[in-house]
Structure 1
Amino acid sequence: MKAAHRRRARRELAELAAALCEAGNAECSSAIPEVLGQRVHLLVDCGPRVVDGTPGESFGMRAVWTLHRLLGECESVRLDVCSVNGLPGVRASRGGDVVAVIALSGRVGDARDVWVVADPAKLGHWQ
């Protein structure tokens, strides 16, 4: 039973990562709120810099807004599914350089946690 639960959770994470990439790579990333849902908790590690005066944590629609501000213009960022700590996650790149790595929990429409590492000092091995 536990193995079946782990496989289902992994499949849901893979679907969430793929949906986030698809929404983020669209002309306008207006689908991101639908992908993440209303109850999402976002934690951002961007090192010494602060994203537009926002603290490291935000919830709900503020989390979606913070993610938009962190990644910048949707046309300049490319999101790809990758393995983050052995689970499906997302790599954000701009001009071939990795600008963030995103770990997720939950499922499409009901993401629980989104962890974004955007600290350049921690992204060195992703380049």
Structure 2
Amino acid sequence: MSENIHGRISRYEKIRADFNIMLTLEPYNSFDLKIEEALLDLNKLLEIDPNNEDTLMISGAIYTLSSTTYRMISRINEALQDLNKSLEIMPNNALTLRQRGSIYYNIDEFDKSIEDINRSIEITPNFAIALGECGNS
């Protein structure tokens, strides 16, 4: 069982790393990845098997990644919507909580920011980025 979890974590980290490299190279062309089409396909899979953990994990990861794109082009409301969708799927994702907390901080919603950052740290106590942001909030 633990190998399965480690494999999922590894796939998620690889997806995120590849996406971040792409964003660095071409931040404004990231929607060429057809994120919306991918989410439609994943939602069709979830209609067939609503509890498929792999499909749920990938959906959550895509929502988190698309929020990064929205944030880079100053579409904060869309970024928050995608982070919220990701957290509906993966409520204990420390990275997603940290990202949403950071956005809340930037739009002066400090109580929400502190709540998300603290939850992120509870889930992953040695999460250095979240610990640093906790000091800012």
Q: TM-score range by the shorter chain?
A: 0.3 to 0.5
Q: Which has the higher helix share?
A: 2
Q: Which has the higher strand share?
A: 1
TM-score (norm 1): 0.38
Larger relative contact order (C-alpha < 8 A, sep ≥ 6)? 1
